[in-house]
Amino acid sequence: MTSRLAAFITGEGNWLPVAMAVALAAAAATWIRHGDHAARDRLMAAMNLFTGVTLTVMGFGHLLAVTTKLAQGTLAGPPLLLYVIGVVIVIPATLLVLNANRARAAMLNAWMAATLAALGLINVPLAIPALLNIAYAKHTRPRSGSIIAAAFVLVNLGLLAGGVWFMMSGARTFEEFSSN
C-alpha cells in the first residue's frame, strides 16, 4: 500500500485532476454560500477560488512529490531548486485563495500567471485561467463577461481532459507521456 501511495504522489499526471476536483468543490461551496451576492461578484470569486485552489493543491503536490522522491533516493535534480519551484507556485496561489473576492485578486492572478510562464512553456496552459480571471475582473459589458466565463470553463475542461488523459496513460513523467 505504501509503495502505491508513493507512486501516486510522485506521478506527475495525478495532481491536476485531483486539484481540479478539490477546486470545483471549493468553488461550488463558495457559489452556494454567497447566494445573496450579485452574480458577477459570485462568479468572479468562484473563478478566482477555482484557479487558486487548483494551483495550491498542485503546488503542495509538487512539494510532496519532491519530498517523497528525496526520501526514496530517486530525486533527479537539485532538491533546493525543486522545493523553490513548489514554493513559488504555492505562495501566490494560496494568496489568491485567501483573496478570491477582493480587489487585489487581479494582481494575484497576474503574479500567478507570470510565475507559471517563468517556470517554462509547459506551464503556460495552466496560466490561462488566471489571465481569464483578470479579463473577467476588467470587463464592462455583460456579453463580454459571458464570453470570458465560457472561455474559462472551456479552458479548464480542456486542462481536465488533458490531465485525465495523462493520468490514465500510465506515464509517470511528462516526457514519457509526450513520447507516446
- Other beta carbons within 10 angstroms of residue 44's beta carbon come to 22
One-letter amino acid of 3: S
**Cell numbers found for residue 38:** 450579485
- Name the nearest CA neighbour of 153 among 14, 9, 27: 27
- Name the nearest CA neighbour of 58 among 96, 87, 26, 25: 87
Distance of alpha carbon 87 from alpha carbon 94, whole angstroms:
10
Containing 63, the helix (H) or strand (E) segment is helix 39-72
pLDDT of residue 180: 58
- For the whole model, what pTM was predicted? 0.89
One-letter amino acid of 86: G
Question: Per residue of the chain (180 residues), what is the pLDDT tens digit?
Answer: 588 888 888 887 888 999 999 999 999 998 888 777 778 888 999 999 999 999 999 999 999 999 999 999 999 889 999 999 999 999 999 999 999 878 899 999 999 999 999 999 989 999 999 999 999 999 989 899 999 999 999 999 999 999 888 878 776 665 565 565
**Cell numbers found for residue 133:** 480571471
